[in-house]
Each structure stands twice: as structure tokens, then as C-alpha cells.
Structure 1
């Protein structure tokens, strides 16, 4: 009996040792792990994992993956320090960090974003399927290095163009699980202000701005003429031309609105930005989609942080300078940018057990809520009639109305009040409700 007790004790200690073997002190509070994973020859993906501070037994809490947009924006930079990581860009403790309730892994994706890098032009991704397959390969190797996470509930969260990448990633990961190529407890994919149907988003710009009084009927007409050219190019499968006309439509919108913020239509702006309009369409798109229209001081502050103290703390080689390949990452996906993934969302709902949610900030412009509602109305899946008949309830946190929700079966939609494109940062109370609904944490949402 005594030998059996010693054996059990040793087994528990060994298991705890394995579970904690990769926990390190990184940058900021809490235990972390990070590194590059070669997902295919010449393509290296970077991740930064924060172990939850809720409990030393991190396997008792879910794992949330965060994918940024762009394509080419950095999860480890922007998503981490501007939205939901343990520290703000000012290096102050964030009260609403997700790490308090679950394990969080930021992935710089596609390869070339943030600290991720490629060895040459031929290794960049050119389409959404390649992006998804890279992520599946990453997960295979992640589980080899962190086998304790194989049975931990996995939830994929994302934002913007991440909302185009995440559905296909979830679908390919599900297929790999079905083929027994990987062991993973994939539960949900959650699309934040997603770029699922680019045409629906672009066509929603002018109506939203007109209804808000940001443009008049003349401005509305000019934006819609340009949006129609974009839609025509998509309908004629001229996808590179559609991306170009998207950029032209952005220029018309900024001119007519006198520089409204693409990510929050109520955000104070400094009025007509003539210097911005002097940029080429490509430079303007990169500024919007990869740099998130941060003001120059804030943009430089984030870059200095990631290339300086963070790179030093994580021992990242100066050869892999944060953000150095982001522009090319964006450009290489030019022909894929305006393609939708509505069919992928349909497949997730019709052919998998994965829970799918969409959450949208009502002050967002670039992926405006009306456009999101339109593509949700277009998709076809078995439970759609029941979803449409389901009640639309209010989201109330601490007796404050934070938004609305509608759920049936494996699909949920969340409308978020007082939030633009970056819901986790703009309305953390509503985001906590969404997290609780989809993952079960945090537990104390009322």
C-alpha cells in the first residue's frame, strides 16, 4: 500500500512537471511560452502563449487562440497590447485581460506578419486555404511540444481579416481531427467584426454613413458608385481589380466623410487629412488594414516596444524584426483579398459540430454590422429557420445594456453597443459576456 501511494505521488509530481515544463518568464506578468514553428520549408510562424493566472493548473481552463486581421497585422503586437493581453501599450496591467480566465495564444499569421517570417518571396501565402493549412501544421507541432493541451477545450477567436482566415482554419483543423492526424478538443470559432463577405461590407459603408449623418445624399451616391465598381469586379471574378477598386472606394469615402475613422465612426478625428489622401491607394490600404490607422506616435510606440524590450525579453533575433515583412504579406494576398468565405461558414454549420459565433461592434465601419447581417441572411444551413425564429435577447452586464444576442443550435450572433471594430478593447463587459457564453469563462458575469 505504501509503495502504491509513493507511485501515485511520483506520477502526480511528474505530470505537474510536464505540464509546467514550458512555462517561462517572458515579457510582463505571468508565465509564458513562445517561439517559431516551421510550418513548411521557408515559412516560420511565431506564437506567444500566456498561461492563465486563474490557476496554476492551466489545463483546467480553456485555450483561446487570437488571430489578427490585415492580412499582415500582428496578433502578438496589436491584439496583445491594444486589446486583450495582460499589459496595455503603456505597460499598465489591463483589468479585462482574458489571461485572468483562460490560456491565451497570440499567433502572428499569415507567415510574414509580426515576428513570423519567410525565407523568400515564394514562401508567402497566396490564398486563404494555404493560410489555413499553415495554421493546422502549426497546431500539429504545438501539440507535440505541449501535449497537455490536446484535451483542453480550444476556442478560436479573431478579428477583421482574421474572420476570413479563422473559419477555414477551423474547418481544416476539424478535418485533420477527423482523419486522426491530430488530437485537439476544438469547440468553437468566434468571428469578431469579420471580413467574411467583403462585398457586403463595402456595400454597407454608404448607407451607414448616410443614416448617421456623416455624409449627405451626394456623398452617399459617390461612395455607392465606387462600391458598385468593386462589386462588379468581384462578380466578374476580377479579384485583383476588385482589391484596387476597394482602395479607390476607401479614398472616396474618406474624401466625402472628411476623414471618418474606419474602425469607430464616433471616434474623434482631426478633420480632413490631406496628407493621408496624398498616399497611393496601396499605401492607404496598408495604413488602414495593417497599421489600423494608429496615429504616428502610437504606431511608433508599438513598433519600438516590439522591436526593443519585447524582442530582447523573448530573445528574438534582430534578423526577424517585428513587422518587417507585413507589407509584402498583405500584397501577396492581393488577388484573394476580396473573395468571400460564406461557403466555408456554411460548411462549418452543416457538416461539423463546431460552434460558430459572430460578434460585431455597432460603430464599426470597415466591417459594418449591416453588411454582416446581410451575409448571415444569405448563408444556407440546416438550422437557419430555427435561428431566424429564435428570440433576440438583450446583453445586460451589471444592469447595463451592452448589446443583443441571438442563438440557436451551433450559431450565435452578438450585436455589441458602444464598440467599433475592436470589441475586446471598446466594450470589455460585452466581450466578457461573449466569452462566458462560448467558453464558460469568466464565471462571474451577471
Structure 2
């Protein structure tokens, strides 16, 4: 079978690390994952020596519609920040990092025939085409431990992708050394998140009794729609529940309860459809104007491969809209399948995250049918020092067999942005470099 076309361009950039300047290489390109559906990827080879001695990490952003090549790269874990200055906590120090604009239509990825994905199954199928192409064209990575790290809705996609990948490897369809998946502040069980918003906000003095009652009522409406199997309605009611939260908390930031929310997210303008409101809350913050100017300006000019009619982030709203009917569906069963298959699964969550609060994450974890769960639950967690503040606790973690959970303190939804040193330490622990 002929592989889809892929265009690759190479160059070098300089990484500044502890006063040393080291060359590192990049590559990027497009893969046609379906007819008229073009997915963009961007790889940074790990620095500090032979990249084959380091793991390969694929990073998947949330949204759906958030750009890994944009936000994940320049706002979280890439070698440069959005001001194009070296990032001290870049994950390229400890791994080669593959960013993918996923699903199709996200970031620089695009479709010219409305070939948007409508569910995580299609997302996973598309990714299999990309990964088959990647590991075939870059055979040097086939023997390198390969991990999938994710954030937010990216975690839901990562779970499905991991299951598809493990099956493709067993059938000999893809050659790679898949070593595990990490689900960061992930939308694995949407209802468990929504039902715990009220208690979490109440316990942090962000709701009074009246507000707690209203948020619980809104969450109950979402739950009823899910019980009835009306997931599109559940997504709409989820948007309503968020508005109820905003009204009763004076506009709490869903991504970090201690950080002021932007005016764009707080204000609910009458006449806007619920999907437009959701996009404004959950995709636009990943495409802030300064990042958009960077990606559609200097970075676009550097890459030299983006079609003239494609704007970075231009199809992201459509990506979210097409996935709306799948958005509130849980994938806890997929996590169970991964664990039963012996695949390493890590869950990590930020203490200050609201939209995917840690309480909700713990709820779905306790529902797992994984045979190791009772032993995992009986373990006491282990504290981890904050690398940026020795002697202070930066996180707790527990691990048993092929499952681990990290509780990251003083971090919200975007852990690498809020606690970069702690996130980097977690990466090295998950990938067994320490």
C-alpha cells in the first residue's frame, strides 16, 4: 500500500541550556490522512547528545481545536516561548518531542472538503495514518520508547489513539516501541468533572450555599441528558452549566481558579449560539492574538510549507462544532482496556484546575475495573520536592504495576505553563529516566 505523501523540511536552531549552546534539529510536514484531509506535524529531536538515547514524546492539545504546534509548543513545552526566547523547562531537554495539529482542521492542519472528524474513532484512525507514515519515513525512531502525553480533550483522544496504536502494532501495521500514555487534566469522564464543580468551588470559598445549589441543579440537567443518550444536548447543557458557574463566582477562571479570567471568556453575549460560546471559552484562549500573530507571521514564514489559503487556527471552530455530539461521551472503558492490555497509563492533574478538577478525576479512576485498582487505592501517596523550590512539596504521586497518578500542586489546567519544573520532573519519572 502506498504511503500518503509527506513533505519534510530540516533546519537547525540553538538551544541554550545552563550556559551551553547545543545544536538540535527540527523537521515538519504534512500527511494526507484522508482524501482532502491534511495533518501537520512538527518534530524536535532531543538535545544534549544522541537523540536515540532519549524517548520520543507526542504531545496532543485539547479543545478540540487547540493547536499542539502552536500552544503546546510555544506556550508550554517547546524549546522557545512565544517571544522566541529559550524556555528553561522545555521537554526537549529530556525527549524528542512530536507536536501534531489534531484533529484535522486544527492549527496548520486543514481540510479542503469538510473532512472534519466527528468522533474520537475517526481521530484515532487519522492518527494511525500519520504515525504509520512517521515511523516509516523516520525509521530511526522505531526502536525509541514512544510515549503519548496529552492535555484536556487531548487526553480523551490520546486514550483512543493509544488503543488503536497498540492493536496496529500487534498486527504489524505500525513499527514503533509504544511505551505508554499520559493523560493530563483529561476529559475522560466529562460528567464526573461537571458533578464535582459545585463541591470543589464551595470548598475553596468560591460558591455560597445558593450558588452551590444552582450549580448542582445545572449539573443534574447535564447528567439527565447523558443518561438519555442525548450527547449533543448534554454538550449544550454543559455550556449552560458553565454560565451558571460564571454567574455565581463572578467569572472564575475554569483553567486556574486563582488566575483572573479574560473578559472575552467571562462575558456571555446574548444572541450567540452555545457552540460559539464554548469555542470562545475553550479554544480562543489557546489562540490568543499574540500567538496567532506569531504563527501566522514569523513561524509561517519559517516553515515555508503552509498553503496560501490556510490560516493557522482558521478551521478550529469547525473542529469543535463537528465534535460536539461526541464531546460529552466518557472513555473510561478505553482506559480500562489499556490497563488490561498491560499498557502503561499515567494520570496527572493540576490542583487549581476547575474544568477538569482533580476530585472528578479521582471519581472515574475509582470506577475502573482494572484488577490492580484495590492495591493502588491502598497505597499511600509519595511527596515530590518542587525542583524550583527545594524543600517544598510540588506534587504527590502513586504508582502500581502499569498505572500512576500525579497530583501537581499550584498548577491549573495547563500544568507545564503553571509549574514547568515540576512538569519536566514528572516527564522524566514517567519515561523512567529517574
Partner in structure 1 of residue 172 of structure 2? 180
| Deviation of the 1:28 alpha carbon | 7.0
Partner in structure 1 of residue 319 of structure 2? 329
Partner in structure 2 of residue 115 of structure 1? 108
Map 1:276-425 onto structure 2 (within 5 A): 276-278=268-270, 279-292=272-285, 299-315=288-304, 316-350=306-340, 352-397=341-386, 398-425=390-417
| Deviation of the 1:424 alpha carbon | 1.1
| Deviation of the 1:71 alpha carbon | 0.5
Q: Does the CA-based 8 Å contact 2:383-2:393 persist in structure 1?
A: yes
Partner in structure 1 of residue 32 of structure 2? 38
Q: Does the CA-based 8 Å contact 1:162-1:194 persist in structure 2?
A: yes
| Deviation of the 1:101 alpha carbon | 1.6
Map 1:105-144 onto structure 2 (within 5 A): 105-121=98-114, 123-144=115-136
Q: Does the CA-based 8 Å contact 1:23-1:31 persist in structure 2?
A: no
The structure carrying a bigger helix percent of its residues is 1
CA RMSD between the two structures: 1.8
- C-alpha distance in 2 between matches for 1:36 and 1:58: 23
Q: Does the CA-based 8 Å contact 1:27-1:314 persist in structure 2?
A: no
- C-alpha distance in 2 between matches for 1:385 and 1:358: 17
Q: Does the CA-based 8 Å contact 1:251-1:277 persist in structure 2?
A: no
| Deviation of the 1:89 alpha carbon | 1.3
- C-alpha distance in 2 between matches for 1:258 and 1:272: 14
State the number of aligned residues: 415
Q: Does the CA-based 8 Å contact 2:251-2:266 persist in structure 1?
A: no
Distance 1:274 1:103, change over 3 A: closer
Q: Does the CA-based 8 Å contact 1:67-1:75 persist in structure 2?
A: yes
Tell me which moved more, 269-278 or 231-240: 269-278
- C-alpha distance in 2 between matches for 1:270 and 1:327: 19
Partner in structure 1 of residue 5 of structure 2? none
Q: If you compute each CA radius of gyration, which structure gives the higher value, 1 or 2?
A: 1
Tell me which moved more, 142-151 or 29-38: 29-38
Q: Deviations over 1:276-316 (max 9, x none)?
A: 4445422221012212377xxxx111111101110110012
Q: Does the CA-based 8 Å contact 2:59-2:98 persist in structure 1?
A: yes
Partner in structure 2 of residue 8 of structure 1? none
- Among 51, 55, 61, the residue aligned to 1:62: 55
Map 1:259-278 onto structure 2 (within 5 A): 259-269=251-261, 275-278=267-270
Q: Does the CA-based 8 Å contact 2:90-2:424 persist in structure 1?
A: no
Q: Deviations over 1:183-212 (max 9, x none)?
A: 110001000000000000111111111111
Gaps of 5+ in 2: 1-7, 16-23
Q: Does the CA-based 8 Å contact 1:197-1:339 persist in structure 2?
A: yes
Q: Which runs of 4+ in 1 moved over 6 A?
A: 270-274
| Deviation of the 1:268 alpha carbon | 2.9
1:25 matched to 2:15? The reply is no
Secondary structure class of the residue paired with 2:241: helix
Q: Does the CA-based 8 Å contact 1:159-1:422 persist in structure 2?
A: yes
Partner in structure 2 of residue 48 of structure 1? 42
| Deviation of the 1:258 alpha carbon | 0.8
Distance 1:270 1:148, change over 3 A: closer
Distance 1:287 1:28, change over 3 A: farther
Q: Does the CA-based 8 Å contact 1:263-1:422 persist in structure 2?
A: yes
* TM-score, reference length from structure 1: 0.90
Q: Does the CA-based 8 Å contact 1:64-1:156 persist in structure 2?
A: yes
Map 1:63-82 onto structure 2 (within 5 A): 63-82=56-75
* TM-score, reference length from structure 2: 0.92
- C-alpha distance in 2 between matches for 1:27 and 1:432: 21
Secondary structure class of the residue paired with 2:147: strand
- C-alpha distance in 1 between matches for 2:201 and 2:264: 16
Q: Does the CA-based 8 Å contact 1:27-1:313 persist in structure 2?
A: no
Tell me which moved more, 134-143 or 26-35: 26-35
- C-alpha distance in 2 between matches for 1:388 and 1:440: 22
Partner in structure 2 of residue 92 of structure 1? 85
1:221 matched to 2:207? The reply is no
